[in-house]
Amino acid sequence: MLQLSQVLLPVDHTDAALRQAALEVLKVKTDQLKHLHIKQRAIDARRGHVSFSYTLLAEVDDESRVLQQLDKTARVQVAEPEEYQLTRPAHGISDRPIIVGTGPCGLFCGLMLARAGWKPILLERGKAAGDRARDVTGFWNRGWAFNAESNVQFGEGGAGTFSDGKLYTQIRDREHRIPWLLKELVKAGAPEDIFIKARPHIGTDRLIKVVRHIREEIISLGGEVRFEAKVSDVVIEDGIMRGVVLADGSTIEGSRIIFGIGHSSRDTFEMLHRHGVPMERKPFSIGVRIEHPQKLIDTSLYGRWAGHERLGSAPYKFVAHCGTGRTAYSFCMCPGGLVVAANSEPGTVVTNGMSSYARAESNANAGFMVDVRPEDFVGDDVLAGIAMQRRLEKAAFDLAGGTYAAPAQLLGDFLAGKASTGPGKVQPSYKPGVVWTDLTTALPDYITETLHQAIPRIEKGLRGFALEDAVLTGFETRSSCPVRIPRDAETLECTGVKHFYPAGEGAGYAGGIISAAADGLRVAEAILRHA
Ligand SMILES: Cc1cc2nc3c(=O)[nH]c(=O)nc-3n(C[C@H](O)[C@H](O)[C@H](O)COP(=O)(O)OP(=O)(O)OC[C@H]3O[C@@H](n4cnc5c(N)ncnc54)[C@H](O)[C@@H]3O)c2cc1C
């Protein structure tokens, strides 16, 4: 099989044109090309032109002769097999692994261990996806009280259940875990186009079904998934984790305890810290969510092709290195999406974004973030980064009048240094609503200054970004976890606490759905290899 890279075609090309382009790249006659398969399709929207850039797999007669005839500049090579080698357990099960958290990390770790016959017990502080969805949408849209155990951060599927479900990541994947994960996601109900899109996404509407399917498979293999089962304590003796204690006082003992708790389970980090579990401070980012009309973004990036059904709503990405010595960047951009309340503690406001599969809402939104370093934290405490997030989240709540509305400001007013009094042409999508104010009164000066400096820089590459009516909603604080729990490079146990496997985003080894799921697999593999 040969792999052809960067085969460019116009947006409205036909299937015949794709085949013709492959024949030309390969310099073969049509009857020599036995089979042509799309491996990946990216949208190339640089330098004012929009086209599709394909990676193709071709089966041809006499492959080595075809390759020899091509000159070295041709982007053709023998396709590498991308097979994920499943780890065989070193021996049979002795006791059941305990997995804390059913985010992508916990779920895929659980699925792998369940398929190996190890019947894992998954413990989740939040509710099952359906009940959780009722709590979350009730809080956003129907005035229901905020539920500190069932929200956008906590519950089946973890933090990514109410998201755009973007599945791209920059992690290295020599073991081919990612293609395997995509296959499992499709088996569980994700759209098949995630196989070929260079920037695949699932959307909240489908994610809820996907996580439910994975749970059902774990249970069908003898595993157990317990909801509203918060781990409130652990048993550690002589540097060995022996078990976990649930909020109802019951203890579950085990000799392989995986914590895939995400970045928001602050009470759990505090509990682990009290037990002397080693942790390190880690940089993260703080910012605001910015909303533009999606049509403006589409036109800016796709020009005359804006709105073409093959392109869908345009995503964007930017990085701006500023004179403050800091970097502003886009985070978790959601085309055709909504800004959502993503807090997990009462009396706080946190923003993030989500989309459905169709990405059909009228606004585009993205985190507009600035890097924050451990030296910015107040005090030497290892949890000082969490304290900083919490202060800002409480400030956002107070700034908007203490009702769970979010503080918001127009970009033009933000630049002019004045409070906003109402929306312009862009209606904010945040629910339960926004209060117009001056965000800079609560933001650290270096964040405000970096955002200010970044705006004209971003405008150069993304025309319309500096729109005066663009809405800024505050604050975005949960970009990643402010701590890392160190682990042994080989066994992946926490250094200093045996039988304890910190994993995923909360432990500092992932930043997104796919990287967290891949880390869950990595931990399952290590357990199966060494246990
Ligand atoms: C609104 C939003 C949108 C996002 N959009 C995207 C996106 O489009 N693409 C992307 O790649 N990433 C996105 N992310 C980030 C992504 O969701 C996370 O990186 C990912 O979910 C991390 O996976 P995880 O399994 O490590 O942790 P989590 O998904 O956070 O899961 C941790 C789970 O552990 C449970 N838990 C915590 N403590 C305990 C305890 N003590 N006892 C029992 N259970 C516990 C929690 O309830 C939670 O369900 C988004 C995040 C949010 C909040």
pLDDT at position 295: 98
Other Cβ atoms closer than 10 A to 251: 12
User: 415-434: string of b/e by CB count within 10 Å (b at 16+)?
Assistant: eeeeebeeeeebebbbbbeb
pLDDT at position 46: 82
Nearest residue by C-alpha to atom 2 in ligand 1: 163
Rounded Cα gap, residues 92 and 109, in angstroms: 17
531 residues of the chain, pLDDT tens digit each: 999 999 999 999 999 999 999 999 999 999 999 999 999 999 999 867 999 999 999 999 999 999 999 987 779 999 988 899 988 887 778 899 999 999 999 999 999 999 999 999 999 999 999 999 999 999 999 999 999 999 999 999 999 899 999 999 989 999 999 999 999 999 999 999 999 999 999 999 999 999 999 999 999 999 999 999 999 999 999 999 999 999 999 999 999 999 999 999 999 999 999 999 999 999 999 999 999 999 999 999 999 999 999 999 999 999 999 999 999 999 999 999 999 999 999 999 999 999 999 999 999 999 999 999 999 999 999 999 999 999 999 999 999 999 999 999 999 999 999 999 999 999 999 999 999 999 999 999 999 999 999 999 999 999 999 999 999 999 999 999 999 999 999 999 999 999 999 999 999 999 999 999 999 999 999 999 986
Rounded Cα gap, residues 292 and 40, in angstroms: 29
Domain with CATH 3.30.70.2700 in the chain: 2-75
- β-partners of residue 217 are none
Domain with CATH 3.50.50.60 in the chain: 98-280+482-530
What is the CA(151)–ligand 1 centre distance, in A? 11
For domain 98-280+482-530, the CATH architecture is 3-Layer(bba) Sandwich (3.50)
What is the CA(403)–ligand 1 centre distance, in A? 25
Residue 431 identity: K
What is the CA(149)–ligand 1 centre distance, in A? 13
What is the CA(158)–ligand 1 centre distance, in A? 4
Ligand 1 atom nearest residue 514's Cα:
11
pLDDT at position 509: 96
Which CATH number applies to 2-75?
3.30.70.2700
3-state secondary structure of 476: strand
46: which residues sit within 8 A by CB, 6+ positions away? Answer: none
104-115 and 513-530 helices cross at what angle (nearest 10)? 40
Nearest residue by C-alpha to atom 50 in ligand 1: 160
Nearest to 458 by CA among 368, 372, 373, 371: 368
What is the CA(143)–ligand 1 centre distance, in A? 24
Other Cβ atoms closer than 10 A to 75: 12
Decide: residue 54, CB within 10 A, 0-12 exposed, 13-18 middle, 19+ buried.
buried
204-220 and 104-115 helices cross at what angle (nearest 10)? 30
What are the contacts of 7-10 at 24+ separation with CB within 8 A? 7/53, 7/54, 7/55, 7/56, 7/75, 8/44, 8/51, 8/52, 8/53, 8/54, 9/51, 9/52, 9/54, 10/51, 10/52
Ligand 1 atom nearest residue 161's Cα:
17
**Ligand 1 pocket test, candidate residues 473, 505, 521, most atoms within 8 A of CB:** 505
User: Pairing state of beta strands 231-237 and 33-44?
Assistant: unpaired
**Ligand 1 pocket test, candidate residues 163, 268, 523, most atoms within 8 A of CB:** 163
Nearest residue by C-alpha to atom 30 in ligand 1: 262
pLDDT at position 331: 97
What is the CA(364)–ligand 1 centre distance, in A? 22
Decide: residue 401, CB within 10 A, 0-12 exposed, 13-18 middle, 19+ buried.
exposed
Rounded Cα gap, residues 363 and 408, in angstroms: 15
Query: Which residues lie with the beta carbon below 6 Å from any ligand 1 atom?
Result: 100-106, 123-126, 152, 154-155, 158-160, 162-166, 230-231, 260-262, 265, 268, 332, 340, 342, 352, 354, 504-506, 510-514, 516
Rounded Cα gap, residues 484 and 502, in angstroms: 9
Nearest to 518 by CA among 206, 82, 84: 84
